[in-house]
Structure 1
């Protein structure tokens, strides 16, 4: 007799997002360590699609040309970022290639998590508020919040980006006010230590039933 599925209902989906430098990835790792929820990193899945040998590479090369592909066969991120930043139409064309593939990959990851018995799945999605694709499917949205000045300082500490470039990235994302307006739960990650962030993350997880 075939085994019955471990869950007769699909897992509850919880969105996790925040601006660049907010600490979203750190919170996702804390949730992974301290809850039984499955964590799906949309950015990681996207990067796999555009890494050397990734499924999106042939389509990108066909649409934009080989100059946007590195000698190793991956997406030339810096070149593409600069190109689409000044051309909304080209950015939309790139998104037309990537977004359906990303959505399909995430859907498969959700199914895999459900098959493994997870009743809760946290979707770590950098542009969740901007996309508008996921909100109707999510039970709750968790926003990692911090002041813009702190976002800039953190990104400067971890990357070689100039402040002007960081500010342009922040301006291209949803505003702090728009993210907070979309939140069901806010984890404030200001100028605090990791243990304090862990405490706040665990409190949010308990509130969400994770």
Structure 2
């Protein structure tokens, strides 16, 4: 069983996924990590990006300057669409390969664009980590040290909170502290094990 885990930027997806992995030994596949793999130096996708945006999009060591790219694509929707069309199929292939290697009772696919990219088609259930938008904003500005306007642009590009919740089978509410989030994850884990038992 593959379970999708999503939520807006700054919602606490990583904290939730880490709890599933460290406390319960669940195999976690992170779509953000896969998005880094497909643009490593020497990969064809990186060359396509350079051809489109120029060498200024690279760091001195020849790797992708993700901050510079993010600035470009979130300022121009057409550029973002071009980038997504290039990367989403490659990321999907990486995700599928990794999920096939899972040996835990179920696997977790963590993706900020789970619904928008169609990756939810790979999953049996969807967990949404939900927080008020004001919390998302303040957490991300603090964590990434980026301007509020850039965070708002990223939030606009992601599914709106109501849209995400519409796809949710399970919701983790993360407006409180880490202990509260962990308790919710632990309860969900037990529920998934019970679900698997009834299915077998």
Same fold (TM over 0.5): yes
- Cα shift readout 1:110-153 (whole Å, capped 9, x = no counterpart): 1222xxx334110001111222x222331100000010111111
Q: Which has the higher helix share?
A: 2
Query: Helix, strand or coil: the match of 2:81?
Result: helix
User: Which 4+ residue blocks in structure 1 deviate beyond 6 angstroms?
Assistant: none
Query: Quick check: 2:74–2:154 contact (8 Å CA) kept in 1?
Result: no
Provide the aligned length of Structure 1 versus Structure 2.
Answer: 194
Q: Structure 1 length normalisation: TM-score?
A: 0.85
- Kindly provide the CA deviation profile for residues 85-111 of structure 1, in whole angstroms up to 9, marking residues without a partner as x: 233222222122211211111111012
The answer to whether the Cα contact below 8 Å between 1:54 and 1:74 also exists between their aligned partners in 2 is no
Equivalent-residue separation in structure 1 for 2:172 and 2:104 (angstroms) = 23
Report the equivalent of 1:72.
Answer: 61
**TM-score, length basis structure 2:** 0.89
Partner of residue 123 from structure 1, selected from 106, 109, 130? 109
Deviation at 1:49, TM superposition (A): 2.4
Aligned to 1:193: 177
Question: Does the 8 Å CA contact 1:24/1:144 hold for their aligned counterparts?
Answer: yes
Shift of 1:46: 1.0
2:39 matches 1:31: no
Question: 1:36: how far off?
Answer: 3.2
Q: Contact 1:20 / 1:170 at 8 angstroms: preserved in 2? A: yes
* Change in CA separation of 1:153 and 1:134 when aligned onto 2, cut-off 3 Å: same
Displacement, 1:173? 1.2
Q: Which runs of 5+ in 1 are unaligned?
A: 1-11
2:3 aligned partner: 14
Which whole-Å CA distance do the structure 1 matches of 2:56 and 2:87 have between them? 18
Structure 2 residues not aligned, in runs of 5+: none
Query: What secondary structure does 1:130 align onto?
Result: coil
**What is the RMSD of the two structures over their aligned residues, measured on CA atoms?**
1.8
Q: Which structure has the larger Rg? A: 1
